[in-house]
Chain A
Amino acid sequence: MDTIQLLMDGFSSALTLENLLMAAVGALVGTFVGVLPGLGPTSAIAILLPLTGVLEPTQGIIMLAGIYYGAMYGGSTTAILLNIPGELSSVPTCLDGYPLAKKGKGGPALGISALASFGAGVLGVIGLVFFAPILADQALKFGPPEYFALMLLALTLMVSLSGGSLIKSFLMGAFGYTLALVGLGPSSGMPRFDYGVSQLMGGFDMISIIIGLFAVTEVLKGIEERRAGAVIAKTGSVYPGKEDLKKSAAPMLRGGLVGFFLGLLPGCSAAITAFLAYDLEKKVSRQPEKFGNGAIEGVAAPEAANNATSSAGFIPLFSLGIPSSPPLAILLAGLMIYGLTPGPVLFEQHAPFVWTVIASMFVGNAMLLVLNLPMVWVWVKLTRVPYGIMAPIILMFCTIGAYSVRNSMFDVLVAFLFGGLGYLFHKYKWPVVPLVLCFILGPMLEESFIHTMAMGAGDISIVWSRPISLVLLIAAAALLVISILLNRRTNQRVKEERERGMDVA
């Protein structure tokens, strides 16, 4: 197997001092931007792209790739300790990570999240080594009808995620989709709901809404609770115990696989796979009620999924030049600047470069693990800072993060507006997750529907006459039925318990 030989050669050059340094710098910068809310890998790589002018191609790409998966790591740290998802893909991590931190189990949660990220990252890279040429071919088979069915499946999962009232989550989902309608129509190119305001023509940006709903809302809640410093009394050791490891092993594997295989599809972002992995764990769990109240499985699965997805994204990028996410699109720009046009030809013409970068991903992932576990204390110390000091600092980062998306004050306004809304949602118990998911998936569903109709000349039957999309549709329908039945069963059980005189709210 000459692939192994090539990989070994890659390691020998990835382990040179300069390249190790580049991987370390990338990992650290990535973790740092991952920790800052809203300043995600996309903006970080974009800001640092000019550096490629001074660095050698291999070093430049190693550093940019390091930032990319470092940011995925960093996002989970603040998600767990402060309920602030650094980026979208860390939102599911908040759901159980933060309750764990509140119980004083922030340390093990961080440890598990780092382990899950590392394991899934390595899994993704192994996949990259062996499957790149084969899998890239499969990704092409996913046409608009398949995406349409996939989105339906994802939205069906969302219905079962919210846990609260079905009606409320539907309404919030509809609200999220309505927000996504603002801007230029994906197919017509006509402005919708812009009321003649030029900023609205560009639509709402996902990141500013996320920063608002999660980070700004959190600050408002903190102010209301007159939160003292040291929110988290004890984080506990960051090295998880046997019990936690045992519980997390299977979710890590499942999350990693979900993240990896869906991550091969262009447009299936780490956020989507992280949510899917979380929902899957909730579905297979014997105690779904634990989720949302500090289940370690709810940290392991999405963390494994989002890192597996970010590694898997390199497969369509290197083998076909298809970036499946914004940060990868900028990495593609980096490759192009160096004159390294991705494609199978890249593997032939620039084999040393490709394999050095792949080897450096192993190195970078290991570095992240080594750097991050000791660094956790730094973040924990951050949480001990009095809230009166923390709140303005967090708001400053929110402002910078929202501004850096499109360099516009409009996004900052949006972030603060949604901060206020998010606070009200929280107060009156309206779930925000369906809003966020529909905001992301809604436009994709719409676009794939329009593409499908154009392909089928206005005949929708194309969706169920193709094997892959048919399977996805059946899965979506089955899930819908199952979740309705499960809901009924739960309500039934609550009623029974009430009749027995239990005090169930």
Chain B
Amino acid sequence: MMSFLMAVSVSACGAKDTPATTQGAPTSAQPAPSEPAPEYPTKQIEYIVPYSAGGGVDLVARATADYLSKEWGQPIVVVNKAGGGGAVGAEYALKQAKPDGYTALAVNVSNTTMLTAGMLNSPVKNEDQIYTSRIGKGTLAFAVKADAPWKDFAEFSQWVKAHPEQLTWTSVGPAGFSAFGVAEWLDAIGADFSKTRMIVTKGASDSVPKVAGGHAVLAVHTIGEIMPMLQAGKVKILAVSGQERSPFLPDVPTAEELGIKGLTVFWWTGVSFAKGTPDYVIAKWQESIAKMEQDPAFVKKLTDIQVENDYANSTEFNQDVNRETAYYTELATKKNMRK
């Protein structure tokens, strides 16, 4: 209701509502160097978040929308279209909306590379979108109950290798990033993934309490998602993945330090547009997001939700995504996770 009214008032006051650019050709049109790029944005932009409000993807998208709408003087409205593990909203933004630059999609690792790897025929693919910018990343943390008997991650890994059938772990969807994190780790230590038991939950708010209450052994999430329970002293974090310690948890060792090499899975989020979106749109977003990542107020917002700023432009972002897709597909095939 309110948003509807706002939209009406906005479009009523929106000075010059130019009609949407008619880009018939699906390939991005290259404007000749002599002519300047059309003015963008000239009206309200929809920023689709394919998850419910309150998660990491949503919070980063809201902070981004907040900054860019001030920067460009046009409203950017965050719209949550949850469902289908992030596929429903992605499909809307990439296939049903016009590729005119007025519908952006908040992408993350789960509804892109992992979706493609985990499903034999995923509803949205890398080819459907132009990865525009990566905005932030989150480190994966391995959490167990606070009074669990293992003193460190190495000891825990030993125990899992000896008793894979006793490991119950919570995940967010059968091929979400916790599943890939666990698969990669078990592969690294040579434990039998197929003997462990996955408990698929709706998300961190459902999964971390299960570990805190002793109903499952291990939860693998981003640091930000585990933080409340960690501060409450209900769970402890045995290790984080990645090359170096997280700035948010300087006392927690990386798995690498404990001799478990090759844990690379990390959570990231960014923005993408449908195939066929004009180049000047992509350029504008890239340039403004690069500027945004330097803004202290924005960086503080990310820090508050334990997300690290991690800018990548379209070229790097695309390379990373393609590399990641190949790696996750291989991992999913090996562990028999593709369905």
In the complex, the answer to whether B200 meets A186 with C-beta atoms within 8 Å is yes
Query: Which residues of A have CB within 8 Å of B73?
Result: none
Please encode chain B, from 187 to 211, with 1 for each CB lying within 8 Å of some chain A CB and 0 for all others: 0000000000111111001100110
Q: When the two chains form the complex, which single residue of B2, B63, B83 contacts A202, counting CB atoms closer than 8 Å? A: B83
Alpha-carbon distance A36/B1, docked complex (angstroms): 10
4 additional A-B pairs beyond A143-B214, A333-B54, beta carbons within 8 Å, are A143-B210, A189-B339, A344-B232, A451-B215
A408's closest neighbor in chain B, by CB?
A: B81
Question: Are the CB atoms of A188 and B53 closer together than 8 Å?
Answer: no
For this complex, 17 residue pairs linking A to B, each with C-beta atoms less than 8 Å apart, are A47-B3, A49-B53, A143-B214, A184-B83, A191-B84, A198-B123, A202-B88, A326-B52, A332-B54, A333-B53, A336-B305, A337-B59, A337-B62, A337-B301, A345-B232, A455-B199, A455-B215
* The residue from B53, B200, B215 contacting A189, defined by CB atoms under 8 A apart: B200
> Which residue of A33, A39, A199, A320 contacts B229 across the interface (Cβ within 8 Å)?
A320
Q: Are A337 and B304 in touch, CB under 8 angstroms?
A: yes
B198: chain A residues at CB < 8 Å are 454
* B109 part of interface (Cβ distance < 8 Å): no
Stretch at the interface among B11-19, B168-176, B239-247, B312-320: B168-176
Among A158-166, A364-372, A384-392, A399-407, the one that faces the other chain is: A399-407
A190 within 8 A of partner (CB):
yes
Of all A-B residue pairs in the complex, the 7 with the closest CB atoms, nearest first, are A321-B228, A202-B83, A339-B304, A333-B54, A143-B215, A140-B213, A202-B88
Chain B neighbourhood of A189, CB < 8 A: 85, 118, 173-175, 200, 339
- Segment 164-215 of A: residues with Cβ below 8 Å from B: 183-184, 186-191, 198-199, 201-203
Given A140-B212, A320-B234, A333-B54; A342-B85 close (CB under 8 Å): no
Q: Is A236 an interface residue (CB 8 A)?
A: no
Binding site for B on A (CB under 8 A): 33, 36, 39, 44, 46-50, 53, 139-144, 183-184, 186-191, 198-199, 201-203, 266-267, 319-323, 326, 329-330, 332-333, 336-339, 341-345, 400, 404, 406-408, 450-451, 454-455, 457
- Bound: A48/B1 CA distance, A: 11
Q: How far is the CA of A321 from the CA of B84 in the complex (A)?
A: 25
What residues of B have a CB within 8 angstroms of the CB of A326 in the complex? 52
Set B54, B83, B118, B339: member contacting A203, Cβ < 8 A = B83
Contact between chains at A184 and B3 (CB < 8 Å) = no
Residues of A within 8 A of B80 (CB): 46, 406-407
Given contacts A184-B85, A341-B228, is CB(A450)–CB(B91) below 8 Å?
Answer: no
Interfacial chain B residues near A407, Cβ < 8 Å: 79-81
**Among A139, A183, A337, A344: residue with most chain B CB under 10 A:** A337
A36 to chain B, nearest CB (A): 7
Q: Which residues of A contact B85 (CB under 8 A)?
A: 184, 189
A266-B215 in contact given A201-B123, A321-B228, A337-B62 (Cβ < 8 Å): no
Q: How far is the CA of A403 from the CA of B40 in the complex (A)?
A: 29
Q: Is B228 in contact with A329, judged by CB distance below 8 angstroms?
A: no
Number of contact residues on B: which range applies? 35 or more
Q: A49-B53, A323-B205, A345-B231 are in contact. Are A143 and B213 (CB under 8 A)?
A: yes
A266 in contact with B301 (CB, 8 Å): no
Contact present for A322 and B205 (CB under 8 Å) = yes
Q: Given A184-B85, A342-B228, A407-B79, verify A400-B1 contact (CB < 8 Å).
A: yes
Q: Are B53 and A141 in contact (CB under 8 A)?
A: no
CB neighbours of B210 from chain A (8 A): 143-144, 451
Q: Which residue of A lies closest to B174 (CB)?
A: A189
Report the bound CA distance from A262 to B216 in whole Å: 22
A49 touches B62 (CB 8 A): yes
Which of chain A's residues have a CB closer than 8 A to the CB of B232?
Answer: 319-321, 343-345
- What residues of chain B lie closer than 8 Å to A345, measured between beta carbons? 231-232
Q: Does B58 contact A (CB under 8 A)?
A: yes
Q: Is the CB of B229 within 8 A of A321?
A: yes
A203 to B200, CA, bound (A): 18
Q: Does B81 contact A406, Cβ atoms closer than 8 Å?
A: yes
- A198→B54 contact, CB < 8 A: no
Q: How far is the CB of B235 from chain A (nearest CB, A)?
A: 10
Q: Which residues of B contact A344 (CB under 8 A)?
A: 231-233
Inter-chain CA distance A48–B58, complex, in Å, is 15
Q: For A450, what are the chain B residues with a Cβ–Cβ distance below 8 Å?
A: 200
Q: Which of chain B's residues 64-93 have a Cβ closer than 8 Å to chain A?
A: 66, 78-85, 87-88, 91-92
Query: Roughly how many angstroms separate A451 CA and B207 CA in the complex, as a whole number?
Result: 11
Interface residues in B24-78 by Cβ distance below 8 A to A read 52-55, 58-59, 62-63, 66, 78
| Bound-state Cα–Cα, A139 to B205, Å | 13
B1, B62, B231: the one contacting A404 at CB < 8 Å is B1
Contact across chains for B231 and A341 when beta carbons are under 8 A apart: yes
Measured CA separation A205–B337 after assembly (Å) = 28
Cβ of B200: which chain A residues have Cβ within 8 Å of it? 186-189, 450
A201–B215 contact, CB under 8 A?
Answer: no
Closest to B179 in A: A189
User: Does chain A have a CB within 8 A of B227?
Assistant: yes
Of chain B, the residue at the smallest CB distance from A46 is B53
| B55 contact set on A, CB distance < 8 A | 333
Chain A, Cβ-Cβ closest to B91: A198
B209 contact set on A, CB distance < 8 A: 139-140, 266, 320, 322
Q: Tell me the bound Cα distance from A189 to B304 in angstroms.
A: 31
Report the Cα distance A187→B199, complex, angstroms. 8
Residues of B within 8 A of A184 (CB): 83-85
Which B residues lie within 8 Å of A190 (CB)?
339
Q: Are B53 and A330 in contact (CB under 8 A)?
A: yes
